[in-house]
Amino acid sequence: MFLVGAVFFSMWYFLSLYLQNVLGYSALRAGTAFVPMAIMIIVGAQASSRLLPLVDVRPLLMTGTLLAAVGFAWMSRIDPHASYWGRVFGPGCIIALALGVLFTPLATAATAGVPTHQAGLASGVLNTSRQVGGSLGLAILATVATDRTAALAGLGQQAALSGGYARAFELATVVCLLAFAASLAVPPIRRRLISP
C-alpha cells in the first residue's frame, strides 16, 4: 500500500499539471478529462471484489501492479505535442483500472488473520501507509520532475515541463515494478479465509 500510494497520488498531480500547463486545458476541462479514469477505478474495484473469492490475493496484486507499470510506462511517453486521446486517455484508464483492482486485495491482505478486535487497527495502519506513501512519493517524484525540468530549460517551457513529468512517470513505473516484487512476498490468503 505504501508503494501504491506513492505512485497513484502523484499521477493525479502530474497529470493535472501536464493537461493545464502543457496542453493548455482549463481547470474544468482537465477535471472532465479525469471522468473516464474515475469510471475505470469503479470497474476495477467491482471486478476485483468479484474475483477475490475465486482466486488468491497475490494474483490480483500482481495483476494490478503490472497493469499500473504498463500504464505509467505508456504515460511516460508524453511530450509537448501529444494529445489527450493519443497519450493520456489510454494509459490513464489503465492506471485507474489498476488502482481499482488493487483496493480490495490490499485491504484483504492487511486484515486477513487479524483478530476481530484489532481489525480497525490493521485498517488504520493500511490507510496510514497509503497516506505516508502518497506524501513521500509525491515529494520524491516532484523533486525528480523539477530537476529534469531544470535540465531541459533550454528546450522551452512546455518541452521542459513535459520532460519533467515524463521522468516522474518513468520513476513511477519502477516503483510499480517494486510493488509487483513485493506482491510476490504476500502469503496465500484466500485459503485461510475460506477454510474454517
Residue-wise pLDDT tens digits, 72-82: 999 999 999 98
- How many beta carbons lie within 10 A of that of residue 158, not counting itself? 16
Tens of pLDDT, residues 29-88: 999 999 999 999 999 999 998 998 888 888 999 999 999 999 999 999 999 998 899 899
Instruction: Say whether pTM exceeds 0.85.
Output: yes
Contact 2, 13 (CB under 8 A): no
Angle at 88 between CA 57 and CA 9, to 5 degrees: 50
Which residue type is seen at 126? Answer: L
Which domains does the chain show, CATH number per domain? Answer: 2-109+119-188 (1.20.1250.20)
Look at residue 193 and tell me whether its pLDDT is greater than 50: no
